[in-house]
Every structure is written in C-alpha cells, then in structure tokens.
Amino acid sequence: MIVEVAVPKKYVEYLDEEISLVKTIYPVVGNVFVVKKPSRKTYISATMLEELRGKGFDKLVVMDSLKPTQIINLVRELRKDVIDRSMLILEIFANHAGSLEAKLQIELAQLRHNLPLIKEAIRYAKIGEMHGFLGAGEYGFEKYYFMLKRRENKVRREIERVRKTRALRRERRERLGYPHVAIIGYTCAGKTTLFNRLTMLSKPVGPEPFTTLTPKSYKVRFNTIEAVVTDTVGFIRDLPPEVLEAFYATLEEVAESDLILNVIDSSKPLKRIINEVETSMSILGKIGCRGKPLIHVLNKIDLVSSDRLKEIMEGLERALNNSQDSIIPVSAEKNINIDELVLLVESRLKRVLKR
C-alpha cells in the first residue's frame, strides 16, 4: 500500500518523528508535502487536490486533527481512503495491543473518534436525499451509528470492570507496604529498556513508537527498599484527547505512584528534548501528578559526547527553572550509571516512606 502524507507547517521541525509514525503502519510512503494554510473545507488546497488526483496512491494520511466534514470532503474529492493523525495513532495502538485491557481501551478510543464522523456522514446523506424537512425514514447510517453507541456503552462498562480489578491489585500492594515507582516518558525514549535493566526481565523493546501499551509491573529491590516498578505507555506530542482519556486506566498507575522516573532520549537536539519534557509534564498535570517526587533520567548517554551531555544537562536545568526534580544521566542499554540511579531512587523512596 502506497500512502501520500500531508504534514502541517507547525510539524515541519518534527518531520522525522511524524514520518516514523506513518511508517510504523505504512512502510511505503510516496510523497510528503507541507500544508501551509489549511482549507476550512478540505484542509488541502484546491491546487494540491488537483495534483493528488493524478497520482497513483492508496491512502492519504494527514498528520493533523481533521474535522469530520474535512475527511468526508477529501474522500469525495479523491475517491481514496483518508485518515488523520488521531486515526493513525489509534491504528498503531491497535497493532500493538496484546492484553484485553489494551484492546478494550483502543476500541473505545476508536469509537469515540469515529462517531462524529458517522454522524456527519448521516447529515450529508440527508442533505443529498431530502427535500426540505421531509425525510424517507431511518437510514442505514443511523442504524450503524446507534449500534456503535451501544457498543461504546458496553466497552465503557468492561473497562470500568478492568479498572476496578487494577485498583484492587494496587490496594493489595499498598497493604503489603511496597512503594510504587512509575516509569514514564516520550515514546522511544528507552522506558522498557530501563524497566528490563532494573527488573532483569526481557520485555519486548523496539525502535517503533508505542511498543508498550499495557503497563507492566514487577517488584524490584533498590538496595534496602523493595518497590513495585511499572512501565507505562509512551507519551507523544499532541496526543489526541480521546486517546488520553481511553488510556486513563494505564495512566492511573502513574497518578497513584510514589515516585516517577521520566525517561528522556539524550541523543536528540536540546530543543526537542525540552519540548518532549514539557509534553510529559503537561500530561502529568492533566492526570493530577503535579508535585510528586520526580527524577529525570537522561537515557542513551552512550550516544552523545561529554561536552554535549553537559550542554543538555545545563539546558534542561534552565528549562526546569530550579525545580526540586533530580536529573541523572544513564545508559540503560549499556548499564552506565544504573547503580547511581538505584541509589538515588532509594534515597527518594526513603523520604516518601518517612512522610
């Protein structure tokens, strides 16, 4: 399958990241073009639509959030499948889902995203077929819409049941007296690699985004203290709201944690690192984690020089504006500074247990 990719001007500086998202699902990418000023009706300009009509591709991927009317208009104009950035991320999640919980949450997010699209399709069908306020009765689209609404309610109930089970497990850990450490961070930062290093497990890792969708928990000894460590789903810039809500049960593990390890890919440019840290902090704020003890783990230091690492450390400290959060450079893959990280986690957990 060949896909054409439309990238908004605001994402040009993140072009490699956007294309990597596309290639996670569609390896064969045709042309990539920038949309400087989105059209209200079709998002893409009339000139670009004319060019696309003459090209041989199977699907158009727009790396922005489209309105239902824009998607429908693009499909009508191009006679091709059209998906936006939210749909693409949901496809990636669906491909990586392993557990029942992950599958349910992805299905809920897809239903929430698709329902407005179906509703708009019904409106367009009626506009084309009705005269005035007269109608020919119930439409097939409407039956499909109400079927999806019923399915959405059922999935919500099932997710609530899974959430209660997770809460019971968490309460059991708390009764046993184990503090909880959550590993968070931008996607592909090396969270699962760090989790494997701390737990001595071999959970799947990979260069593609969102290898981890279901949280993994394991008991780890940090010298004198035993704690439960949880690996969580990766964050991403401009994560669709429906995805964030659907994965609340996953992020609940972070909200209930005693200490957060924010894993950062130090091999990226400083500006990107700061933007990703700001994205992570913003998501933490949305799930009520402001003020929790936090350690920024600068991972992949084996890929940068000592001078570059010093520059990143200083730039990150300035960006954090003298916060109480600690910063520690490590390489989870090469086992560099992991002992120092263990000592730091131990000291932070001792403070938490004293409180």
Q: What is the pLDDT of residues 337-355, one digit of tens each?
A: 999 999 999 999 998 888 7
Q: Is the pLDDT of residue 239 over 90?
A: no
User: Where on the phi/psi map is residue 69: left (φ > 0), alpha (ψ -120 to 50), or beta?
Assistant: alpha
Please state, for a pLDDT cut of 70, what percent of the chain lies above it. Answer: 85
Give the pLDDT band of residue 136 (cuts 50, 70, 90).
very low
SS3 percent helix, strand, coil of the chain, rounded to 5, is 55, 20, 30
What is the spatial distance between Cα 283 and Cα 128, in angstroms, rounded to a whole number?
42
Answer whether 187's CB lies under 8 Å from 235's CB.
Answer: yes
- For 266-304, strand residue ranges (E) read 294-299
Q: State the pLDDT at residue 206.
A: 65
Q: What tokens were used for 169?
A: 């497990």
What separation in angstroms does the CA of 332 have from each of 53, 212, 254? 48, 17, 21
Number of C-beta neighbours around residue 103 at 10 A: 16
Number of C-beta neighbours around residue 134 at 10 A: 6
Provide the total of helices (H) and of strands (E) in the chain, helices listed first: 12, 10
pTM: predicted TM-score of the whole model, two decimal places: 0.77
Distance in angstroms between the alpha carbons of the first and the last residue of the chain: 57
* Averaged pLDDT, 155-180: 77
> Residue 282 CA to chain centroid, in angstroms?
13
24-34 confidence digits (pLDDT tens): 889 999 989 99
| Residue 112, φ and ψ in degrees, nearest 5 | -65, -35
Q: State the pLDDT at residue 302.
A: 95
* Averaged pLDDT, 321-346: 92
* Averaged pLDDT, 270-298: 87
Give the pLDDT band of residue 283 (cuts 50, 70, 90).
confident
What is the spatial distance between Cα 220 and Cα 345, in angstroms, rounded to a whole number?
11
